[in-house]
A and B are shown apart, each in its own frame.
Chain A
Amino acid sequence: MRNLELVMGWLPSLIFASRITISLSVISVVIGMLAGVFIALGRISANGALRKACGIYIFIFRGTPLLMQLFFVWYALPLAIPWLAMQDRFLAACIAFSINSAAYQAEIIRAAIQSIDPGQMEAARSLGLTYGQAMRLVIIPQSIKRLIPPVGNEFIMVLKDTSLVSTIALVDLMKHTSQIQSSAATALVYLPSACLYLIFTAVFTFLFNYLEKRHSVYE
């Protein structure tokens, strides 16, 4: 009973700290998705230079640790270019997570677009649509259903990776949990904290499943 009381006492502050975890994941995945569409289109465009540039972007940001990118944005960038010194930790975290997520999602989107039968593009072009119109009206709408499961996966990964922000002194759910652990001298706090992570994952899994069902009406 004593334990239950303890857990209930921690819960409000844990939920409050979760606002960083959730808002950071949602913002980064949404920005990463928008940027990812353009990087993916660049990767499969006819322009060789653009293709190369997008390939290098993905190579760099998928090939280095997210933690290092976060440190780079927050600590190294201001030393190299002083006017880029941000004062807002949350903004810095959003930038680092977004550029990282964009690299992953670009590959997800590229794979989804390329999985659409080439006949679709040929048919659209033969009806007189431009390349852009065909992409926008025919190919991308069809690829969305195939995007949803891997993007859901990416979202859950980002949600858990947000625990890295404690390194720039931003207090998210994980950091607040370890603060409670050390001040209350008990590891019991990991239990409600893990439950919260599971609840968030469950909610977003449900949401992505719903979206997938809605988008499968065409098939």
Chain B
Amino acid sequence: MKKIGFSSGCWILAGILILSMGLTACGGSGAGNGSGSSSLTLTEGVLKVGMEVGYPPMEYLEEDGVTVTGFDYEVAQEIAGKLGVEVEVVDTAWDGIFSSLDSNRYDCIISSVSITPSRQEAYILTRPYIANAIVIVARNDEQIASPEDLAGLRVATQTETTADEYMRELRDGGLAVADEDYFVYDKIIQCFDELLLNRVDAVMVDSVVAAYYMGSNSDKLKIKWENDTAEPLGICLKKGNDALTAEIERIVDELYADGTMAALAEKYFGRDVTEGVR
């Protein structure tokens, strides 16, 4: 018995090894989109787009709770339309959204990805398709005019967002927000819930998202401060996927030239914010 158990164990191990080598090989060829396949995308006829659905107005669910919509979603639709393929949204948690690109779960991320040097090191980011700024949202009566005023207050952000990074920089730079007063949530909606429940005093967030929440709670909440330097958002692809990147860049240029982007911005943000982005 023992002997058989041991040898079958070896076979299983060998099987796993062979399988994983096979998978790595597939991964390798898929990344470059070179050998054998002429398709630009992972799956012929489909553009798989990674999104964290739950970030209105950029990407969120309609009231029926299943239909994806939002600015990014419509941008994805426009791009796919010009590529002649269908959009398939892959809904992913923000935590880990980039590593799924490495494992070929989708062709690109169109999910309000801010262009930062560290992200550019590891991935391809297209030239900006829209711009955004970090803002501070607080209850009406709060006396906040700049990030310095956050000292001693309770602050919330969404984990791994540029607002989170910005808060960390500020705190490293001496802003007095204690560890136990700095809250990092999985979902942006939780930050706003906490603000309304009086459990935090300020939320640091992307302006496009803040605008959306102001809409339903504009009597209670207010944008207290907006960062001067706009934060460009790009479409994120795996390193080496140059063919698809070039196509997307060309299409986004077209969308800018024919006014589609301006119309989408008007629809979702209430104003044309495309000026000087590209």
Contacts and interface: CB of A to CB of B under 8 A. Distances in A.
Interface of A: 75, 78-79, 85, 87, 166-169, 171, 178-179, 182-183, 185
B197 A85 contact: yes
Contacts of B193: 75
Given A166-B186, A182-B160, A85 B198 contact: yes
Contacts of A185: 118, 122
A169 B156 contact: yes
B190 A178 contact: no
Contact of A75 (B122, B168, B186, B190): B190
Contacts of B118: 185
Nearest to B179: A171
Nearest to A79: B197
Interface string B78-93: 0000000000000000
Given A79-B197, A167-B186, A168-B190, 16 more contacts: A75-B193, A85-B197, A85-B198, A85-B199, A87-B199, A166-B186, A169-B156, A169-B183, A169-B184, A169-B185, A169-B190, A169-B194, A179-B184, A182-B95, A182-B160, A185-B118
Choose among B160, B185, B197 the residue with the greatest number of A CB atoms under 10 Å from its CB.
Answer: B197
A149 B186 CA distance: 35
A87 B184 CA distance: 16
A199 B156 CA distance: 33
A166 B185 CA distance: 8
Nearest to B156: A169
Q: Taking chain B's interface residues, is the majority helix, strand, or loop, or is none over half, making it mixed?
A: mixed
The 6 closest A-B pairs by CB, nearest first: A169-B183, A169-B185, A78-B197, A167-B186, A182-B160, A75-B193
Nearest to A75: B193
B172 to A, nearest CB: 11
A167 B184 CA distance: 9
Nearest to B118: A185
Contacts of A179: 184
Interface string B190-204: 100110011100000
Contacts of B186: 166-167
Contacts of B198: 85
Interface in B75-128: 95, 118, 122
Interface string B124-164: 00000000000000000000000000000000100010000
A182 B97 CA distance: 12
A110 B160 CA distance: 45
Contacts of A166: 186
Contact of A178 (B95, B197, B199): B95
27 contacts: A75-B190, A75-B193, A78-B197, A79-B197, A85-B197, A85-B198, A85-B199, A87-B199, A166-B186, A167-B185, A167-B186, A167-B190, A168-B190, A169-B156, A169-B183, A169-B184, A169-B185, A169-B190, A169-B194, A171-B184, A178-B95, A179-B184, A182-B95, A182-B160, A183-B168, A185-B118, A185-B122
A169 B184 CA distance: 5
